[in-house]
Structure 1
């Protein structure tokens, strides 16, 4: 596995940064892509990676990014399409601008990353891992744009697997639940304010009905990505791997029976 070129979008923090550390620890050469240069350069200095600033949702930006990667590293073996963002609001409350922003940050970023990297991936019979969410499977409250975009990522994954499998390229998606990242920390703020509790208590609250009763660490999701990108997953393509602590297996209508003792 060592020596592969692994391109990671949204690599500056959270799951992306954890993936960068994981792949670098295996001896892979890691390319860190994101819009904020400072965290990329800091992480690149830590792991010996290549930091390239750019918007993963911008097809024009990819012209320069792929040229830099080819010139400095010679090709691409793995793409971890991790860049994403918010998409808050119910359908009525979502403005056209917010709708477009949700699709751009969560869907366009993966599509244009894949499209740009595919020629190099085909050449090396590489693979893609798209980081989705359990929002690709179920709907949370008032996150219409985010939920729609993450659902669409599964269609993109299957389309990539179907079209490029004959050329030796694999494509899979990872669907995390709650993960302790800066983005999720920010989402805990309303709960912290409403209940007068700290960050740990807020995470405990949102995971109260999750079978494992806790959020994931970014490193745990990075391990899932590393597996899907490895030779051990050589026969796995066009599928999704859910890493949500069991959240999506809970039968919601039966929760009332679990809480009988609280009545």
Structure 2
């Protein structure tokens, strides 16, 4: 892939959940801008496919597994000798309201959405201190507000902001930055699957379902994975050298909407 900007020339970046969606887009963009990229994910075939496209390294493991993450970081250092960026993107799971969430589902949501980020950050921090590198935590607007019947996902995405701020506070004196990106709707395989109930209920296609969920979003559309990757790359780059502990909503304006006034907006279009 051509290196057009080179903001990450000579840098080494590790992307968790790097096989699909936002993680894949981050890996491709960072490689495009000169980074040596390491894709980490549970599905070996997917991360190896992305690694081939990026000219990078693939590691198949669960980011919430402490021993596996220690081994992964050791493998990165053995090959590249340094680590400059962690994109903590792995996530998912957490459906159901509080009273309907079994213990096993709660633990799964914790592992997927918070423990992956904690374990990967802890494993990477010694190397990031050496390089004065940084972490980009990929959360969600579920870290800022609550959707229906997603108790586990909402809880642990909220906690992800606390983790990022703690890392930023504790490791800032060592030159390590930590920031959070909170995407809204993004056209990923996971979001495509979430359109299914709307498609069935309204007898509509996937594009119309996205139109429906974005009807009150100021930009009136979902993001592409590449757009979210651009935000992540900015925060990881020298362009954001003074930015740490920040929470950046990349949501088309979703979180600026004053919900109690939506009825007035609908009057204008009636």
Verify same fold: TM over 0.5.
yes
**1:89 corresponds to:** 96
d(CA) in 1 for partners of 2:269, 2:35: 51
The answer to whether 1:227 aligns with 2:242 is: no
Per-residue CA shift, 1:111-138, capped at 9, x if unaligned? 0000000000000000000000000000
* Matched residue SS, 1:214: coil
Of 52, 62, 68, which aligns to 2:69?
62
TM-score, structure 2 normalization: 0.96
The answer to whether 1:202 aligns with 2:209 is: yes
**2:154 corresponds to:** 147
**1:244 corresponds to:** 251
* Matched residue SS, 2:100: coil
d(CA) in 2 for partners of 1:261, 1:227: 37
TM-score, structure 1 normalization: 0.99
Structure 1 vs Structure 2 CA RMSD: 0.8
d(CA) in 1 for partners of 2:70, 2:98: 34
Per-residue CA shift, 1:17-37, capped at 9, x if unaligned? 000110000110000000000
Give the drift of 1:262: 6.0
Once the two structures are superposed, the pairs formed by residues 179-190 of structure 1 within 5 Å of their partners are 179-190=186-197
Work out the number of aligned pairs and report it.
263
Per-residue CA shift, 1:157-194, capped at 9, x if unaligned? 00000000000000000000000000000000000111
Give the drift of 1:63: 2.0
- Structure 1 residues 167, 261: CA separation in 2 closer, same or farther (over 3 Å shift)? closer
Give ranges in structure 1 of 5+ residues lacking alignment. none
Once the two structures are superposed, the pairs formed by residues 1-263 of structure 1 within 5 Å of their partners are 1-261=8-268
Find runs of 4+ consecutive structure 1 residues off by over 3 angstroms: none
d(CA) in 1 for partners of 2:244, 2:52: 33
